[in-house]
């Protein structure tokens, strides 16, 4: 299977990301893939709260990108 120019470009950008950015992007990609394969289903309040707790842990550990950081990064695109 040949790697397309888009795939190569994605890889070039991906390797420049920080680990938290890679994690966030990977989740986004999985969301796209999942939404193409199956209809979106509601989640339980327990699952919702679990995801919120995990997000808060990430934030408290500094695993996020600020708006200023994102805007600066976007200038290089």
Confidence at residue 3, expressed as pLDDT on a 0 to 100 scale: 83
Confidence at residue 32, expressed as pLDDT on a 0 to 100 scale: 84
Please give the residue range of the domain that contains residue 61. Answer: 5-74
Q: Which tokens sit at 60?
A: 């408290």
Whether 58 and 20 have beta carbons less than 8 Å apart is answered as yes
Confidence at residue 21, expressed as pLDDT on a 0 to 100 scale: 92
Confidence at residue 16, expressed as pLDDT on a 0 to 100 scale: 93
pLDDT tens by residue, 21-67? 999 999 999 888 876 666 667 889 999 999 999 999 999 999 999 99
Looking at the 3D structure of the chain, how many domains does it have?
1
Regarding pTM above 0.85, the answer is no
């Amino acid at each position: 299977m040949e790697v397309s120019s888009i795939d190569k470009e994605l890889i070039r950008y991906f390797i420049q990301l920080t680990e938290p950015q890679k994690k966030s992007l990977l989740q986004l990609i999985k969301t796209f893939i999942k939404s193409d394969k199956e209809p979106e289903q509601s989640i339980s309040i327990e699952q919702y709260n679990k995801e919120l707790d995990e997000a808060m842990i990430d934030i408290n550990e500094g695993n996020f990108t600020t708006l200023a950081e994102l805007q600066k990064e976007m200038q290089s695109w």
